[in-house]
Chain A
Amino acid sequence: MNAVFYLLAAITIAGGLAAILLKHLIHAALAVTVAFGGIALLFLQLDAQFVGFAQILVYIGAVAILIVFAILLTHGADLPEKGVFNKGWAAALVIAAAVFAVTGWAVLQSIDAVPQRNAAPVVSMHDVGNALVGRYVLPLEIVGLLLTAATIGAVIVAMHEKERSR
């Protein structure tokens, strides 16, 4: 636990909070990008280089762009005329707080039961690569299949329905 961790945690949480509270959708999307970046830095802080960079590549490079595209395509960049929160927001906040309470309690309760090791793990990119195409090759293939299916599905779902509908 050091200052860097506190700083990164603060940035991440601030980004997340801003994302759900900001009125403007584009601002929310940019805020969530900050949160994604914060999480990537937390991964780096946890000695997970590969995952950290993959996080930046996937979330900042792709998902954030997807989100802003979706916002523009749904005219979400215009400010809504009604409020941004729905009717039951107070109850929802209570529920979210309860979820946090339960998880936090669970973390503090059970942490002593977990064996812990503070030394940094010795893992090179080579090990990650070997694991990906060795022991975890089947999940990797399945993820590839899933991504292909999702790409095709997304294209078909979002495609313009041409003359057929008229």
Chain B
Amino acid sequence: MQGGLSQQVTSVPSAVAQLLWLIPAVPILASGVIAVLKQPRRKLASGLAIGSLSFSLLFSIVTFVHVVREWAAGLAVREVVNFTWLHFGSSSVDLGWVLDPLAAVMLVMVSFVGLLIFIYSTGYMAHDENYTRFFCFLSLFAGAMLGVVISNSILLLFMCWEIVGLTSYLLIGFWYQKPSAAAAARKAFVTTRVGDIFFLLGIVWLFAQTGTLLFYNGGSGSLESNALKGLLAAHGGLGLTAAGAIGLLIFAGAAGKSGQLPLHVWLPDAMEGPTPVSALIHAATMVAAGVYLIARVYPLMQFGAAPGGTTASLTVVTWIGTATAVFAALIAVAQNDIKRILAYSTVSQLGYMMAGLGLGGVAVGMFHLITHAFFKALLFLGAGSVIHGCHEEQDIRRMGGLRVDMPVTFATYAIGMLALSGFPVLAGFWSKDGIIEAAHHSAAIKGPFYLLIFGALLTAFYMMRQVCYVFLGYWRGHGTAHESPRVMTMPLAILALFAAVLGFIGTPAWPWFQAFLENRAATPAFHALIEPGYLALVGASSLVVIFGIFLGFRVYGNKSPKPEAPDALEQAAPWLWNPLRDRLYVDEFYRATVIALYAWLARVADWFDRRVWGGIVSLVTWLVGLWAKLNRALDVYWVDGSFDKTCEELSNGGGLLARVQDGRVQDYLRILAVAAIALAGILIWSSRP
């Protein structure tokens, strides 16, 4: 991957850090190999993809253990390997990779969830004719995502980021025969591009200000205090510092990828892709890349804040995250497509993560990211299993009573749903409580706290609604449902296990995860659990969650067996239901404003192209044609004539010499030998003393 480029290593990194590039490189290589395979070699393709990602997982675990050991030994936990990609003028474009707790945690999460989903896909996609293509894209995605995670250079991160975007496009539009899938892919690509433009601007600005693309480089990286001081002193417009303005531009990119308001519109549509893709890319990993990006450039946004205080850019992040969380949760209440509900739920949870980053720091947001990845992947794979079992039916009104037909799916799905809702002691409880607690402690702004509590209520409500529709009540669909094969339920079970217990690595009693990310020593503090203030807060949020679940069960628990029956909420309050069902008219708003403007501009450009540029081009064409005719005349009458004559003479002369060439190879050799003797004789004779 780094080829023959020389490495500039500041302090000698360990062998693990030096070989870190293998983690993304191996899946990318596998994807390349799969790309040139013949279509029918399905086993080999999936074997390569799974094998390469297993390697990445193995190595990631080795890396993680390595970092944990260094951390436990109190050593420096950030190792970087940088090298120069190209020089221009006096500056250079540097690339590199970094190994720190943040990257190590993400590596393990991405490769582990990815591997489970790869395995699940071999069952889910078993009958698809483009099986090898699917695994090619999945592998490429996994490699690029791992590349995003280890990047120490914002440019390298951006490159991998764009590959991730590309694979997302390819996979959403994987069934491109469906017009809706093709349109969804296009929409996802264009919408995230809007965010990426801002991201690119941020990169350029950062490079212009600091002169380096590296995050960490032994004191001279852009996230280290020298550069940050400079950025803080520079002016950024609109009353912001340069650091804040760049942070916000980068946040715009993150918002595009993570589906934050107002760029969230693509994510629900992306559910047109195959379900494993939805689980892997649009729930667990890629959409989390935005959150990870903010966590990575966190020093940029946070630097200069007073102790306990916040900065303007972090405030923006908090408010956008909070607004997204509530907004998407509201929409999720009134959706009927099983995957679309989960998609809005993802958008909402990403809002929580952003709010957590804005309010409580890297550890709070990242903790929710990790737990969310597991239970959301679980929910999506469960949804996939349901869809598979109900003969490709996605409308929850045509399901029901599946707890009997699909017991494994039901059990795991219920765990995922409770974890997502924040039911006590499951994974989501601890991570979401961390965010709410951070919001409560925030001195500057109080609004997010109440909104997030409200969001938690909504989350519990809509998840319960979905479970009531799908698993409880009576069967309302066609035919009979069946349980999925073992290769699909196994990942579900593994993920359910993690969704249940993963929260215990970051409880207030023993905040191991937070300490690890912030590079502090982890000490158990059980008294933190029984502190009155904390107990009150936890009690309140648990009550809200339980109330939400109860409410959901109350409203939807006795669902009528007719699929056409109107929704309970629709009957009660149509004025609330209809806007929510129509997704609060965001798409329509965009169509009327941004897209209309763009279409008008396109028409103008088209007219200009045809009339003005077209005319000029025709004129040039005519002139060139004239010149060519002139040339041809010259060629035929003058050049050809003289050449033909010359050739004729040559051919007459050649006939004489041709007689020596009698076609017998030994005669040639004989002539050769005689000539050599003659030459040698002359040589020796002339050099005689």
- Determine if A118 is an interface residue (Cβ-Cβ < 8 Å): no
Q: Are B684 and A105 in contact (CB under 8 A)?
A: yes
Given the contacts A86-B666, A88-B670, A95 and B684 also touching, CB distance less than 8 Å? no
Q: Are A102 and B680 in contact (CB under 8 A)?
A: yes
Q: Are A95 and B673 in contact (CB under 8 A)?
A: yes
Question: Which residues of B sit under 8 angstroms from A88, Cβ to Cβ?
Answer: 666-667, 670
Question: Which residues of B sit under 8 angstroms from A96, Cβ to Cβ?
Answer: 673
- Determine if B677 is an interface residue (Cβ-Cβ < 8 Å): yes
Question: Which residues of A sit under 8 angstroms from B684, Cβ to Cβ?
Answer: 102, 105-106, 109
Distance to closest chain A CB from B656 (angstroms): 23
Q: Are A91 and B670 in contact (CB under 8 A)?
A: yes
- Determine if B676 is an interface residue (Cβ-Cβ < 8 Å): yes
A88-B684 Cα distance, complex, nearest whole Å = 28
Question: Which residues of A sit under 8 angstroms from B62, Cβ to Cβ?
Answer: none
- Determine if B190 is an interface residue (Cβ-Cβ < 8 Å): no
- Determine if B674 is an interface residue (Cβ-Cβ < 8 Å): yes
The residues in B between 648 and 687 inclusive whose CB is less than 8 angstroms from any CB of A are: 666-667, 670, 673-674, 676-677, 680-681, 684
Question: Which residues of B sit under 8 angstroms from A86, Cβ to Cβ?
Answer: 666
The residues in A between 92 and 121 inclusive whose CB is less than 8 angstroms from any CB of B are: 92, 95-96, 98-99, 102-103, 105-106, 109
Q: Are B677 and A95 in contact (CB under 8 A)?
A: yes
A110-B676 Cα distance, complex, nearest whole Å = 18
Q: Are A99 and B666 in contact (CB under 8 A)?
A: no
Question: Which residues of A sit under 8 angstroms from B667, Cβ to Cβ?
Answer: 88
Question: Which residues of A sit under 8 angstroms from B680, Cβ to Cβ?
Answer: 102-103, 106
Q: Are A99 and B677 in contact (CB under 8 A)?
A: yes
Q: Are A95 and B666 in contact (CB under 8 A)?
A: no
Number of interface residues of A (CB under 8 A): 13
Query: What's the dominant secondary structure at chain B's contact region?
Result: helix
Question: Which residues of B sit under 8 angstroms from A98, Cβ to Cβ?
Answer: 677
Nearest-CB residue, chain B, relative to A89: B666
Q: Are A99 and B676 in contact (CB under 8 A)?
A: yes
Q: Are A102 and B670 in contact (CB under 8 A)?
A: no
Question: Which residues of A sit under 8 angstroms from B673, Cβ to Cβ?
Answer: 95-96, 99
A95-B681 Cα distance, complex, nearest whole Å = 13
Question: Which residues of A sit under 8 angstroms from B681, Cβ to Cβ?
Answer: 102
Nearest-CB residue, chain B, relative to A102: B680
Question: Which residues of A sit under 8 angstroms from B670, Cβ to Cβ?
Answer: 88, 91-92, 95
Proximity string of chain A (54-70) to chain B, C-beta cutoff 8 Å, 1 when within and 0 when not: 00000000000000000
Q: How large is the interface on B (under 10, 10 to 19, 20 to 34, 35 or more residues)?
A: 10 to 19
Distance to closest chain B CB from A122 (angstroms): 35
A91-B666 Cα distance, complex, nearest whole Å = 12
Nearest-CB residue, chain A, relative to B666: A86
A98-B667 Cα distance, complex, nearest whole Å = 16
A86-B681 Cα distance, complex, nearest whole Å = 27
Distance to closest chain B CB from A96 (angstroms): 8
A106-B682 Cα distance, complex, nearest whole Å = 12
Question: Which residues of A sit under 8 angstroms from B677, Cβ to Cβ?
Answer: 95, 98-99, 102
Question: Which residues of B sit under 8 angstroms from A102, Cβ to Cβ?
Answer: 677, 680-681, 684
A105-B670 Cα distance, complex, nearest whole Å = 21
Nearest-CB residue, chain A, relative to B681: A102
Among A95, A103, A109, which residue has its beta carbon within 8 angstroms of that of B674? Answer: A95
Nearest-CB residue, chain B, relative to A105: B684
A132-B32 Cα distance, complex, nearest whole Å = 34
Nearest-CB residue, chain A, relative to B680: A102
A99-B676 Cα distance, complex, nearest whole Å = 8
Question: Which residues of A sit under 8 angstroms from B676, Cβ to Cβ?
Answer: 99
A88-B667 Cα distance, complex, nearest whole Å = 9
Nearest-CB residue, chain B, relative to A110: B684
Distance to closest chain A CB from B670 (angstroms): 6
Question: Which residues of B sit under 8 angstroms from A92, Cβ to Cβ?
Answer: 666, 670
A99-B684 Cα distance, complex, nearest whole Å = 13
A56-B674 Cα distance, complex, nearest whole Å = 33
A110-B383 Cα distance, complex, nearest whole Å = 92
Distance to closest chain B CB from A32 (angstroms): 19
The residues in A between 79 and 95 inclusive whose CB is less than 8 angstroms from any CB of B are: 86, 88, 91-92, 95
Nearest-CB residue, chain A, relative to B683: A106
Question: Which residues of B sit under 8 angstroms from A99, Cβ to Cβ?
Answer: 673, 676-677
Question: Which residues of A sit under 8 angstroms from B674, Cβ to Cβ?
Answer: 95
Nearest-CB residue, chain B, relative to A98: B677
Nearest-CB residue, chain B, relative to A95: B673
Nearest-CB residue, chain A, relative to B688: A109
A102-B673 Cα distance, complex, nearest whole Å = 11
A147-B674 Cα distance, complex, nearest whole Å = 32
A95-B667 Cα distance, complex, nearest whole Å = 12
Distance to closest chain B CB from A109 (angstroms): 7
Proximity string of chain B (588-602) to chain A, C-beta cutoff 8 Å, 1 when within and 0 when not: 000000000000000
A98-B684 Cα distance, complex, nearest whole Å = 14
Distance to closest chain B CB from A69 (angstroms): 22
Nearest-CB residue, chain B, relative to A96: B673
Nearest-CB residue, chain A, relative to B684: A106
A96-B667 Cα distance, complex, nearest whole Å = 13
A91-B667 Cα distance, complex, nearest whole Å = 11
The residues in A between 126 and 162 inclusive whose CB is less than 8 angstroms from any CB of B are: none
A88-B666 Cα distance, complex, nearest whole Å = 10
Question: Which residues of B sit under 8 angstroms from A105, Cβ to Cβ?
Answer: 684
Distance to closest chain A CB from B662 (angstroms): 12
A106-B684 Cα distance, complex, nearest whole Å = 7
Question: Which residues of A sit under 8 angstroms from B666, Cβ to Cβ?
Answer: 86, 88, 92
Distance to closest chain B CB from A29 (angstroms): 20
Question: Which residues of B sit under 8 angstroms from A103, Cβ to Cβ?
Answer: 680
Distance to closest chain B CB from A49 (angstroms): 33
Proximity string of chain B (445-475) to chain A, C-beta cutoff 8 Å, 1 when within and 0 when not: 0000000000000000000000000000000
A98-B672 Cα distance, complex, nearest whole Å = 13
Distance to closest chain B CB from A110 (angstroms): 8
Distance to closest chain B CB from A108 (angstroms): 11
A95-B666 Cα distance, complex, nearest whole Å = 12
Question: Which residues of B sit under 8 angstroms from A109, Cβ to Cβ?
Answer: 684
A103-B684 Cα distance, complex, nearest whole Å = 10
Question: Which residues of B sit under 8 angstroms from A91, Cβ to Cβ?
Answer: 670
Distance to closest chain A CB from B681 (angstroms): 6
Nearest-CB residue, chain A, relative to B679: A102
A30-B684 Cα distance, complex, nearest whole Å = 38
A103-B681 Cα distance, complex, nearest whole Å = 10
Given contacts A88-B670, A95-B673, A99-B673, 9 further A-B contacts (CB under 8 A): A88-B666, A91-B670, A92-B670, A95-B674, A99-B676, A99-B677, A102-B680, A103-B680, A109-B684
A-B contact pairs, 22 of them (CB 8 A): A86-B666, A88-B666, A88-B667, A88-B670, A91-B670, A92-B666, A92-B670, A95-B670, A95-B673, A95-B674, A95-B677, A96-B673, A98-B677, A99-B673, A99-B676, A99-B677, A102-B677, A102-B680, A102-B681, A102-B684, A103-B680, A105-B684
Please give the residue numbers on chain B whose beta carbons come within 8 Å of chain A beta carbons, in ascending order: 666-667, 670, 673-674, 676-677, 680-681, 684
- Of all A-B residue pairs in the complex, the 8 with the closest CB atoms, nearest first, are A102-B680, A95-B673, A98-B677, A102-B677, A106-B684, A99-B677, A99-B673, A102-B681
